[in-house]
Amino acid sequence: MRAVFLRASRSKWLASQMMEREFARRAVRKFMPGEEASDALDAAGRIAAQGLGAVLTQLGENITSLHEAQAVRDHYLGLLEQIAARTQRDTIISVKPTQLGLDLSLDACLEHLKTLATRVRQADAGILWIDMEDSSYVDRTLDLYRRLKASHENVGVCLQAYLRRTPADLDGLMPLKPAIRLVKGAYAEAAHVAFPEKRDVDIAYYAIADALLAAASRGNAFPVFGTHDRGLIDRITTRAAALSVPDTGFEIHMLYGIRTADQLALARAGRKVRTLISYGRSWFPWYMRRLAERPANVWFVIRSLLP
């Protein structure tokens, strides 16, 4: 089932068909509040009242011109202004390098990231997060992060536990005292590149999380754990306590619409929890990858669509 969803995520024909179907649009609304930035901002305001922070990201990737990349940069600059105008101080943003032109020019992408990081710092808007895409982008994305971190402390990057290379990548980033958002990974990868079995991914995730928490206990990293696996989260929070990492020394990020009760329970227990809120017209590939990450979400969607 996971392989089917990942193949579907790459089909432009299927995307064009499904994005116009009302039943598909209703299904995806279970995982995103709407296609407009205002929908995401409204949702961030609602969850803030419940003690949750938010991470906003506009869906879309692999743009085809530098003009489009500049438009994406300007969109995020406008989004930061809207966040400030609404005084939603616990709302931050996360961006995809390919949306900012990575396929076309690494240097142009870097300049867009610098502009955004500068604006985030000026607005005291927390960390600018850089998403990780499929394995072919890892080297370039980490290069961007290193170069950006040299001039901007307020940036973080995502690492994917299912990639076999990730422990070595983390070791290479440690001298930077990095902010790392650790996820399991949701792209179709060859078995020699990524662990194909969930059990192995879970083992790798906890091992990397343990290394991040050890670094955090020395003030050498700021870890974020992006997972809905409650058992894994409980192990991580227990380990954080054993290493004397305070609740302010790490965060837990979960997707909008998934395990909302757990998000609220963790926040009530004193954890710093942020909800990742996606929006935009280009939702189909993202939605297929979310279903592939956890096929049980399929039954969640089916149940939610029934009377």
Model pLDDT for residues 26-55, shown as the tens digit of each residue? 666 678 888 899 999 999 999 999 999 999
Catalytically active residues are 131, 181
Domain 33-282, CATH among 3.20.20.220, 3.40.50.300, 3.40.50.12780, 3.30.70.60? 3.20.20.220
Pick out the chain residues at pLDDT < 70.
Answer: 1-29, 283-307
Inter-residue contact 161 to 131 (CB < 8 Å): no
Inter-residue contact 172 to 146 (CB < 8 Å): no
Inter-residue contact 164 to 195 (CB < 8 Å): yes
Phi first, then psi: give them for residue 145, nearest 5 degrees. -60, -45
Inter-residue contact 92 to 128 (CB < 8 Å): yes
Please, what's the largest Cα pairwise distance for the chain? 54
Please report the pLDDT score of residue 68 as a whole number. 95
Please report the pLDDT score of residue 77 as a whole number. 98
Domain-by-domain residue ranges, the chain?
A: 33-282
Please report the pLDDT score of residue 305 as a whole number. 47
Strands (E), 122-272: 128-130, 155-160, 179-183, 222-226, 251-255
Model pLDDT for residues 175-225, shown as the tens digit of each residue? 999 999 999 998 879 999 999 999 999 999 999 999 999 999 999 999 999
Inter-residue contact 100 to 93 (CB < 8 Å): no
Please report the pLDDT score of residue 280 as a whole number. 83
pTM of this structure: 0.87
